[in-house]
Structure 1
Amino acid sequence: MTLLHTSTALAETIVLSASDVAKSFTMHLRDGIVLPVVRNVGFDLHRGECVVLGGPSGVGKSSILRMVYGNYAIDEGQILVRDTASGAMHDLGGGDARLILELRHNSIGYVSQFLRAVPRVSALDIVAEPLTARGSSREDAVVRAAALLTRLNLPEALFGLPPATFSGGEKQRVNIARGFITDHPILLLDEPTASLDAENRDVVVAMMKEKLAKGIAILGIFHDLPVRDAVATRMLDISDFSARKTAA
């Protein structure tokens, strides 16, 4: 294979590409003070790899995940995401709400640190919803949701209850099941195992490895070192992009 063909083949495995990304926050209630977060962020994410965002607390790791998911607008640069429907790379950094929703539907899954569930909706329906939103029958979605919750050791007695009164670990297992039930080609994970016991942590590690084996790309934050060591294929030190460090 020629160098050109090698480069082309490698480029085709990229599902996410960030370049020259900068982010700051303006404190409008504090005389418009601007707090820089990151600048010159650049990296590629390939199919089947797990890139771990590293660096000390407050350096901008969670902010990068939220920018990639479209929750935070960016000041500069671009964040290209491959659309599974067309295969094209689209820039969600421009803040186009319709494009962001489309890419979330087709391309990007996300497990946050905390479950934010609609009140009075059962755990089973919360987990099943991403499948029904993508066209699966409710019957099939509920069966798959129940299987995931069982695998994550959530008591069956809780399946039909809203998670508002669940423990932190129980809520997070519902959150993980919801994020893992689909096969989005990109999966963003923000400390998914932080509130889990060792047994359920091992279950989630196995689930992540299965995703990677399917060619799904994971971009995540893992302060739990055994989890990081088990799944990381590459570390990305966000300290290198810290705008506050540069400004200091």
Structure 2
Amino acid sequence: MPDMDTSAPLLDVSSVAKSFTMHLRGGLRLPVVANVAFTVHPGECVVLGGPSGVGKSSILRMVYGNYAVDAGQILVRDQTTQEMADLATGDPRLVLDLRQNSIGYVSQFLRAVPRVSALDVVAEPLVTRGVERNVATSRAGEMLERLNLPSALFTLPPATFSGGEKQRVNIARGFITDHPILLLDEPTASLDAANRDVVVAMIKEKLGVGTAILGIFHDIPVREAVATRIIDVSAFSAREAA
């Protein structure tokens, strides 16, 4: 693998625009954001700020390839080649490759597969990257222990868990890999104070090894503890400009 230039951004978003078409309302076009532009470098935690509904989650989903863009570029540094790849092209193979090797994501809600244990849910990203299952499962257990999930729940499917328990499984799954870019969508929203502190420590450890983090944190103490820079998404709001 080529050496990484720590002075170069891992994520470079430029001139990105997004709108939604309301097909049930005669094709009404609803603009969301326009001219979105920012970079995230190794070791930075860039926080998307601004009021609810301004487009923060939409930006995060575009960066992960869940939402298509209307215009612009989302350049992601490929961990394998160290070249910048434009995720905004929407090429499904490219999106899947970048997700496996370059971009991790902790969403607000865990999409739990029925009858799959919490250990297997957390270990799965490592298994898909070629880590032996027993090693991956052992590391998954360590992550869940750190997040104070009762060991009695490890072999149970998370679909039956409480909201906070599900979120801890979600966090463990997102943090278990070494993706150079990590997207966080309100990771501590369902957690108590003790587990919020654990997640803050985990975020700082990621930053310490050069991970580039882009996140949304409505929890002000958490945001103040981890943010290296805050971007006011209101500046990109197409609704305000319309």
TM-score (norm: length of structure 1)? 0.95
DSSP-derived class of the 1:209 partner: helix
Pick one of 49, 54, 63 that aligns with 2:58: 63
Residue 29 (structure 1) aligns with:
24
Contact 2:184/2:214, CA 8 A, preserved across alignment: yes
1:6 alignment partner in structure 2: none
Mapped to 1, the partners of 2:141 and 2:152 lie a distance apart of: 11
Q: In structure 2, what residue type is equivalent to 1:222? A: F
Q: Report the counterpart of residue 196 of structure 2 in structure 1.
A: 201
Count, aligned residues: 239
Alpha-carbon distance in 2 for matches of 1:128, 1:93: 29
| 1:151 aligned residue | 146
CA distance in structure 2 between the aligned counterparts of 1:154 and 1:13, rounded to whole angstroms: 38
Aligned match of 2:83:
88
2:211 is aligned with 1:210: no
Q: Which residue of 1 aligns with 2:123?
A: 128
Amino acid at match of 1:167: S
CA distance in structure 1 between the aligned counterparts of 2:29 and 2:13, rounded to whole angstroms: 23
| Aligned partner of 2:155 among 153, 157, 160 | 160
- What whole-Å deviation, never above 9, does each CA across 1:171-207 have from its counterpart, x for those lacking one? 0000000000001000000000000000000000000
Residue pairs, 1:104-119, within 5 angstroms:
104-119=99-114
In the aligned structure 2, how far is the partner of 1:93 from the partner of 1:74? 6
For 2:159 and 2:130, the matched residues in 1 are separated by: 27
Q: How does the TM-score come out when normalised to structure 2?
A: 0.97
Instruction: Report the equivalent of 2:179.
Output: 184
The residue aligned with 1:3 is: none
Equivalent AA in structure 2 for residue 39 of structure 1: A
Q: Secondary structure at the match of 1:105?
A: helix
Matching residue of 1:221: 216
List structure 1 runs of 4+ shifted beyond 3 angstroms.
Answer: 9-12
> Match of 1:21, as an amino acid?
V
Task: Evaluate the alpha carbon distance shift between residue 10 and residue 140 of structure 1 in structure 2; reply closer, same or farther with a 3 A threshold.
Answer: closer
The alignment-based identity, stated in percent, is 75
